[in-house]
Structure 1
Amino acid sequence: MKITIVTGSNREQSTSTKLCRYIETVLQEKEINVTLFDLYEKPLPFFDPSNRVTTDPNVHALIQAVGGADAVILSTPDYHGSVSGVLKNALDFLGFDQFDSKAVLAVSSSGGAVGVSPLTHLQTIVRNLHGVNCPEWISIGGENRGFTPDGEPENEKVKERVNKVLAYFVNLALTLRKAG
C-alpha cells in the first residue's frame, strides 16, 4: 500500500508537519510505503486556472505523489478557522484523477484546543475532488502540540489517538483499494 502525506504549512518547524512526520514513522513501522510531500520544502507557484499547464517540477512531483497513492493524508495548520493558503493552492493543482475513490485523512494543528473548522473545510474539498473522507481525523491543539527531539508527541494520549485513527484509516484504504 502507498500513502502520500501532504503537509500544508509554510513554516519550517510547523507542529502540523511534525505530526505528519510522526504519522509517517508509524505507517512505515507497519510496512506501508509513505511519501511525505512537504509544501514548505517544495513550494508551488500560485495556481492559475487559465493556464493549467505548468512546467514546475514541484507541481509535477505533487501530482505524481498523490496520483500514485492508494490513500492520502492532508495536513494543515489552523489559519483563521480554515486550511492554510499553501495547502488550498496545492489542492487546486489536483483533481478527480488524483483523488477519485481514495481514502483521505484530514489532520490539523491548532493554537487553540482543537482545530475542527479546518478539518471540516478539508473534508468539503475532498468530497468535491471525489475522495472518500475518513470519518476519523486527527487534531492537536494547545499543550498537545509538544514533540520530543526524536519527533514523537510528548503526550501519550496523542500517540494513542494517532495509532487508533491510523488503524481505522489504513483499514478503510485497504477496503476501498479491494473494491476498486
Structure 2
Amino acid sequence: MNILVMNGSPREKSMTRNLTNSITDQLDEKGIQVMTFDAGFHDLPLFKGRKEDLEHPEVQRLMNNAMNADAFVICSPEYHNGMSGALKNALDFLGGSHFKQKPAALASVGGGGKGGINALNNMRTVMRGLYALVLPDQFCADPTCFDEKGYMIDTKAKERLSIVIEELVTLTAALEKGIKVK
C-alpha cells in the first residue's frame, strides 16, 4: 500500500509539517509505504494550465507519486478561511485520473480554538471535484497539540489522528482486495 502525504504549508517552520510528520510516523509503524509532497520543499511553478509546466521536475514528481498512490492524506494550514494557496496550486496540477477510486483523508492545523474547519471544508470541496473518495472523518489540530520541537504531545489528538489514519488504511485495504466503487 502506497500513501501520499501532502503538506500544503510553504512555511519554513510549519505546524502542518509537524502534523504530516506525525502522520508519516503512524503510517511507518503500520509498515505502509509513504510518499510525500511538501509545499515548503517541493517548489512548483504557478499553475497556468500550460503544457510546458507539466515538464517541471517537481510537477513530474508530484504527478508520478499521485498516480502511484493508493490513497492520500491531504494536510493544510487554514489561511483566510481556506486551504493554503500552495496546496491548491499543487492540486491544480493533478486531475481526476490521480484520485478516482482512491481514498483521501483530510487534516488541518488552525491557529487555535476552532480554526482549521474552514480549510477542511474547502479541501473537501476540491477533492470531491477531483473524484477522490474523501473520508467522512477528518482531523484538525491546534498548535498546542505540538511541543517546541514539533512532536505531537496531546494524547487526545494522537488518538483522534490514529482513528482517521486507521479508517484510511482499512478502506484502502478493502479497495485493494477488489471492492471497487463504480
**TM-score bucket of the superposed structures, by smaller chain:** over 0.9
Offset of residue 148 of structure 1: 5.7
SS at match of 2:136: coil
Q: How does 1:130-145 map to 2 (within 5 A)?
A: 130-144=131-145
The residue number in structure 1 matching 2:84 is 84
Say yes or no: does 1:106 pair with 2:112: no
SS at match of 1:157: helix
SS at match of 2:108: strand
Offset of residue 52 of structure 1: 3.0
Cα deviation 1:29-49 (Å, max 9, x = unaligned): 100000121111111000012
Cα deviation 1:120-160 (Å, max 9, x = unaligned): 1111111110100011111012523x2363x5312111111
Identity rate, percent = 34
Judging changes above 3 Å, is the alpha-carbon distance between structure 1 residues 35 and 147 closer, same or farther for their aligned structure 2 residues? Answer: farther
> What amino acid is aligned across from residue 117 of structure 1 in structure 2?
N
Structure 2 contact 15–143 (Cα < 8 Å) conserved: no
Cα deviation 1:27-86 (Å, max 9, x = unaligned): 01100000121111111000012x133221000000011110000111100001100000
Q: How does 1:6-17 map to 2 (within 5 A)?
A: 6-17=6-17
Say yes or no: does 1:153 pair with 2:175: no
SS at match of 2:72: strand
What is the TM-score of this pair, normalised by structure 1?
0.93
Q: How does 1:1-180 map to 2 (within 5 A)?
A: 1-49=1-49, 51-54=50-53, 55-114=55-114, 115-144=116-145, 146-147=146-147, 149=149, 151-178=150-177, 179-180=179-180
> What amino acid is aligned across from residue 129 of structure 1 in structure 2?
L
Number of residue pairs matched? 177
Moved over 4 A (4+): none
Following the alignment from structure 2 to structure 1, what is the Cα–Cα distance between the partners of residues 83 and 7? 11
Structure 1 contact 18–147 (Cα < 8 Å) conserved: no
> What amino acid is aligned across from residue 123 of structure 1 in structure 2?
R
SS at match of 1:79: coil
Following the alignment from structure 1 to structure 2, what is the Cα–Cα distance between the partners of residues 148 and 157? 18
Offset of residue 169 of structure 1: 1.3
Following the alignment from structure 1 to structure 2, what is the Cα–Cα distance between the partners of residues 156 and 46? 38
Structure 1 contact 136–169 (Cα < 8 Å) conserved: no
SS at match of 2:109: strand
